[in-house]
């Protein structure tokens, strides 16, 4: 370690259900050079196993969901010795080179206006970057760098100061759209995000709809994000746009029925705090290529 190395706190979640992927993810993380790294593994409803020596663990009594698990990990490494950055890392991802984190930090140094840095996520077998991993509307070219307004939550580097000011992840979301909520709060602080596609992280290109809760939580959390973060006149526009897009894209009638059930659940409440973004933030997001109605 040298005095110029950035301090990075890495948070990894586990449910002890990936006995092959988890050790590979941890080995690639602990092999990183050029950063001062601390790692915590959070067991979501389990006591973490297969944890390398020297890695801190947190065991949650129940599965609180991904965003709250990430909050627990970041909180475990908070305090006077907290790192300059927090790195959230899925337990089935792999950092393909030992300088991946150091390169992300270098990008952060080059873009001090950016609160979070997003690498390009690619399937390790095909090299394909699926659309949902490209944090912009125009996802046709995953190799185009630039300012972005959303994030792919599973592999992202966030400045600790900005993460703390934004209040962390919305823990009660359980799964899906927590990155949209966090990124909009970050933008409302006057900050931005940056996509660095020349820095690659491997992650299997699985279908999110494999989760039984997918359609319900995706719809519910869309409503919650809208009610939490949007100025009142934009809420019906945002929800109408996503309803039309979902109807056009969803081929499963059962899935669509579940999506509408989730929409109704969200409309009944439960979104938590309402802290809408300013109209200045709406304009900044629009200028950056993603007006907050799509």
Please give the pLDDT value at position 64.
96
Q: Which domain holds residue 176?
A: 7-206
The domain tally of the chain equals: 2
Question: Do 53 and 175 lie in a common domain?
Answer: yes
Distance CA 252, CA 216 (A): 13
Question: Do 238 and 178 lie in a common domain?
Answer: no
Question: Do 126 and 255 lie in a common domain?
Answer: no
Question: Do 59 and 187 lie in a common domain?
Answer: yes
Please give the pLDDT value at position 2.
41
DSSP single-letter state for residue 186:
H
Q: Given phi > 0 = left and psi -120 to 50 = alpha, else beta, which region is 89?
A: beta
Q: Answer with the one of 178, 206, 234 that is the final residue of a domain.
A: 206
Q: Does residue 129 form part of some domain?
A: yes
Question: Do 125 and 255 lie in a common domain?
Answer: no
Q: Does residue 292 form part of some domain?
A: no
Question: Do 14 and 116 lie in a common domain?
Answer: yes
Question: Do 12 and 132 lie in a common domain?
Answer: yes
Please give the pLDDT value at position 124.
94
Question: Do 92 and 235 lie in a common domain?
Answer: no
Q: Tokens 């944890």 appear where?
A: 51
List the CATH number of the domain containing 22. 3.90.550.10
Please give the pLDDT value at position 207.
75
Q: Does residue 260 form part of some domain?
A: yes
Please give the pLDDT value at position 204.
93
**How confident is the prediction along the chain (294 residues), in pLDDT tens digits per residue?**
344 689 999 999 999 999 999 999 999 999 999 999 999 999 999 999 999 998 999 999 999 999 999 999 999 999 999 999 999 999 999 999 999 999 999 999 999 999 999 999 999 999 999 998 999 887 789 999 999 999 999 999 999 999 999 999 999 999 999 999 999 999 999 999 999 999 999 999 877 766 678 999 999 999 999 999 999 999 999 999 999 999 999 888 999 999 999 999 999 999 999 999 999 999 999 999 999 998
Question: Sign (positive/negative) of CA torsion 94, 290, 228, 235?
Answer: negative
Distance CA 48, CA 281 (A): 40
Q: What is the pTM of this model?
A: 0.94
Question: Do 110 and 198 lie in a common domain?
Answer: yes
Distance CA 256, CA 26 (A): 37
Question: Do 36 and 94 lie in a common domain?
Answer: yes
Question: Do 141 and 237 lie in a common domain?
Answer: no
Question: Do 218 and 183 lie in a common domain?
Answer: no
Length of the chain: 294
């Amino acid at each position: 370690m040298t005095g110029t190395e950035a301090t990075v706190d890495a948070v990894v979640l586990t449910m002890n259900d990936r006995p092959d992927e988890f050790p590979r993810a941890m080995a690639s993380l602990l092999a990183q050079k050029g950063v001062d790294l601390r790692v915590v593994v959070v067991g979501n409803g389990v006591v973490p196993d297969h944890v390398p020596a020297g890695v801190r663990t947190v065991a949650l009594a129940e599965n609180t969901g991904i965003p709250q698990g990430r909050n627990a990990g970041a909180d475990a490494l908070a305090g006077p010795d907290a790192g300059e950055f927090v790195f959230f890392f899925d337990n089935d991802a792999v950092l393909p080179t030992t300088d991946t984190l150091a390169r992300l930090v270098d990008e952060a140094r080059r873009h001090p206006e950016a609160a979070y840095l997003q690498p390009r996520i690619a399937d390790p077998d095909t090299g394909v970057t699926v659309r949902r991993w490209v944090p912009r509307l125009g996802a046709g070219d995953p190799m185009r760098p630039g300012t972005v307004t959303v994030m792919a939550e599973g592999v992202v580097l966030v400045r600790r100061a900005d993460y703390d000011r934004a209040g962390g992840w919305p823990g009660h979301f359980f799964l899906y759209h927590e990155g949209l909520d966090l990124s909009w709060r970050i933008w409302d602080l006057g900050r931005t995000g940056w996509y660095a596609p020349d820095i690659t992280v491997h992650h299997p290109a699985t279908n999110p709809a494999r989760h039984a809760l997918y359609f319900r939580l995706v719809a519910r959390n869309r409503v919650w994000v809208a009610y939490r973060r949007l100025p009142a006149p934009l809420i019906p526009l945002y929800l109408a746009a996503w309803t039309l897009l979902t109807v056009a894209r969803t081929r499963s009638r059962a899935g669509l029925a579940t999506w509408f059930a989730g929409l109704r659940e969200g409309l009944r409440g439960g979104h938590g705090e309402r802290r809408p973004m300013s109209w200045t933030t709406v304009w900044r997001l629009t200028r950056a290529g993603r007006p907050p109605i799509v």
